[in-house]
Amino acid sequence: MPTSHYGQPRYRAIADELRKRIESGVVPLGTLLPAESALAIEFRASRGTIRQAIATLREIGLVTTEHGRGTCVNPDFTAHIPNPVDEKAKRQRRVAAEPELAALLKVEVGATLIEDQDVTCRERKVEAVVRTYRVLNNPTGYA
């Protein structure tokens, strides 16, 4: 039964409940959460929904998950600081074509180019910065 989710989706309610248990000490720091399959039975939800709930806890750094082992309550849990760096990093600007870019894109040196900047993250850390240069004409590149 996919239950109509009018107010709050189930995975969020489950995530809240798990967070409460951690913060209240029912599940001590540094210990493993019950297995996904066990939680699925307890909450009468599918494993996918449980995983979604746990994913939200992982995003705020409350737990860490290891393949084949389990989901561990982060012992370093003090205050989670969501990282706004992703949003800041994402931006678009116009730059003048330097010789190499100009040659590749077949425009004159100094022509206006669109530079899109994005970052790829891993484990909430910036892993790489990607800059894409296009001719001002067609942003999507789709003809």
Partner DNA sequence: AGAAATTTGTCCGTATGTATC
Partner DNA sequence: AGATACATACGGACAAATTTC
Provide the residue count of the chain: 143
Which of 59, 60, 50, 61 is closest to 17 using CA atoms?
50
Which of 19, 65, 77, 78 is closest to 11 using CA atoms?
19
Q: Is 17 helix (H, G, I), strand (E, B) or coil?
A: helix
Q: Is 142 helix (H, G, I), strand (E, B) or coil?
A: coil
Name the minimum Å distance from CB 42 to DNA. Answer: 11
Name the minimum Å distance from CB 55 to DNA. Answer: 8
Our finding on whether 31 is near a copy of itself (CB under 8 A) is no
Binding mask 42-61 for DNA (x = CB under 7 A): --xxxxxx-xx-x-------
Name the minimum Å distance from CB 46 to DNA. Answer: 4
Per CB under 8 A, residues contacting a copy of itself are: 7-8, 13, 16, 85, 89, 101, 104-106, 119-120, 122-123, 125-134, 140-143
